[in-house]
Structure formats: C-alpha cells, structure tokens
Amino acid sequence: MPLFQSKDDLSALGEADVVLSLDWLDVKAFLDAAGRAGDDSLTVIHASLDRYAHTGAVMDYLGLPRADIMLLADPDTTTQALLSSLGADKKPAAVVAKPGVIEPPDTPTISMAHLADATAKALRDHKHCYACLPFGWPAAASPFNHPLDYLGADAGGVIGAAPPFAIGAALAMQETDPDRLVVLATGDGDLLSGMASLWTATQRGLPILAVINNNRSFYNDERHQDRMAQARGRPRENKWVGQRLDDPPPDLCGLAKAQGWAAVGPVALPEDLPEAFDRAMASIARGRPTLIDVLVDPEL
Ligand SMILES: Cc1ncc(C[n+]2csc(CCOP(=O)(O)OP(=O)(O)O)c2C)c(N)n1
Ligand SMILES: [Mg+2]
C-alpha cells in the first residue's frame, strides 16, 4: 500500500483527468490503489529527479511509475515554472489541510487511531515536524501544510533508519527552524534497530519527541510471514517466529533512559494517553529528548 493516503485522496484520484505528481514517493502504488494505473483516460505528469536513484542493484524506487509526461525537475522548480506561466493574477489560493476527525474505536486496548489522535492533540499548539511516521498511521490525523511538517519516508524502508533520520533532522532544524519540535514517530522494531543513535540527541541537547507504536513485534513481517505460510502451505501459527519482540518484552523506556533520554510508559490503556502525553510534553519543555512508549494492539 502507498503511504498515508486517505479515502478522500483516493476518491479525488479516482475522478481526476490529470495527475501532477510532485516527486511523490510511490506513484505506481498510489495509482494502483485508485485502480487508475492502466487507465488511458488519465494523464500522469511526473516531476521528479528519482531516475537518478534508479539502478539495477536495488529497488529503492519501489514500483516504476507510469508517466505520460516526464519532467526531469524537482517539485520547487516545477511549481515555480507553473506559477509564472499561469501569471500572477491566476495563482490559485493555497489549499490549507484541516485537522481530520479521528474517531478512535471504543476498545479496551490502544489502536493506531488512539495513538495518532493523542499525538495530534499533544502537538496541537506546537510547531512540529514529523521526521517519519510508522506503518498504518491514519493520514487524517496529521494534516501537512508546510514542507517541514513531514519529511517523508526514506525510499528503501530500512528498519533502524528512523531514529538517526530524526536526529539528523533535529540537528538541521536547529539552523532552519529552531522552534519546530522534531517528532520521531516509529515502531518498536525500528526503534530497537536504531537505538544506539539516541545517544547523539542527548549529547547534542536535542529535545526530540519519540512516539513509539509498540506492538511488541516486527509486525509488518509477521503479516508477511502469514501470507507466505498461506501461499506455501505452511503452518500460519508460526508467523511470529523471529518477529515477535516479547517474552520478555524489551524495556524500551529503560533502553532510552540508558541513552540519556527521559521516558514515559509503557502506556497500555486508551484513557491513560492524555496524561502520559502531558508528562512527555512537560519533559520536552524542560529541554529533554523524551520517548513515550505506547502499547498498540496490532489487530485493531
Ligand atoms: C534493514 C531491514 N531489515 C528488515 C526489513 C524488513 N522489515 C520491513 S518492516 C519490518 C518490521 C518493522 O517493525 P516495527 O518498526 O516494529 O513496525 P511494525 O511493522 O511492527 O508496525 C521489517 C523487519 C527492512 N525493511 N529493513
Ligand atoms: Mg512493531
């Protein structure tokens, strides 16, 4: 699935005559999801420098996108050229994305919707930058209106990359926009794979907020192993082997504290989320890099 598209995005794409892709990460998957990949009535204009990243060695480019018109240009250059050819008086009003309505389910355990909703509420009055987002984050929870609101996904999807990615972003943010809080929202497996990098945030005094979707598993791969078990006639109940991060669960807060971070959690109940986020934000206000460990039910 492409990343973070909402039902509204897909229905707009379903009705479009022309798509202008401004360096979208995975155009092919997006068109596939809307059932438009092979639709001749649609014209796809793709403005990107991605082809320079395409090699025979890796598939970092994901699916090869369909492009009826290929513009070998970055989005800023393309947008500037489009705006100047439209003329100053034709410049369309900016579309401002509004915070979506997330209605977390009424469940005793925490869903991704609960986590996204609680995070968005905690950040409502803070200028922030999501350096990354975990799998399954509901797009409507976090509308992006500024290029620094979300930095986008790393192309290869490398597990362990998000923590150093966020720390690099926070270092750069000290120069670019020092009041903008960098948010490392990621999974437990990704955090564990990049854990040692947290120390750099402590050493450099970077007050990053880490929001951990802790489902105690490399869950994406559990799902993959489930699909493979079905395809190959193997026992599905073994899907967790080598993927589950439990029994005993790693102590994410303890590991973060060992790198010099403050840590809150693990938070297990939906009703405990607001107070836990209040504590985390108070710690951020004191200038500490802070992690909040949230136990998310992967089945919700
Ligand atoms: C270096 C590397 N190894 C393995 C993978 C395969 N992989 C993709 S997602 C994933 C699990 C991620 O776990 P977590 O961060 O906890 O997210 P979850 O799927 O549980 O939401 C793995 C192992 C990868 N992308 N990169
Ligand atoms: Mg996980």
Domains of the chain: 7-90 (no CATH), 112-295 (3.40.50.970)
Pocket residue to mutate for ligand 1, from 112, 133, 217, 220, most atoms within 8 A of Cβ: 220
Express each pLDDT in 229-276 by its tens digit.
999 999 999 999 999 999 999 999 999 999 999 999 999 999 999 999
Report the separation in Å between the CA atom of 187 and the middle of ligand 2, taken as the mean of its atom positions: 5
Give the bridge partners for 296, in sequence order.
110
Q: Is residue 133 within 8 Å of 165, Cβ to Cβ?
A: no
Give the nearest ligand 1 atom to 213 CA: 21
Express each pLDDT in 206-222 by its tens digit.
999 999 999 999 999 99
Whole-angstrom CA distances from 106 to 115, 247, 266, 270 are: 13, 28, 20, 9
Across residues 174-202, what is the average pLDDT? Answer: 96
Across residues 164-186, what is the average pLDDT? Answer: 96
Ligand 1 neighbourhood includes 190 CB (under 6 angstroms) = yes
Give the nearest ligand 1 atom to 160 CA: 1
Report the alpha-carbon distance of residue 5 to residue 86 in Å, rounded: 28
pLDDT value of position 1: 33
Ligand closest to the CA atom of residue 136: 1
Q: Is residue 187 within 8 Å of 266, Cβ to Cβ?
A: no
Predicted TM-score (pTM) of this structure: 0.84
Reduce the secondary structure of 261-294 to three states and give it as a string.
CEEEEEECCHHHHHHHHHHHHHHHHCCCCEEEEE
pLDDT value of position 268: 97
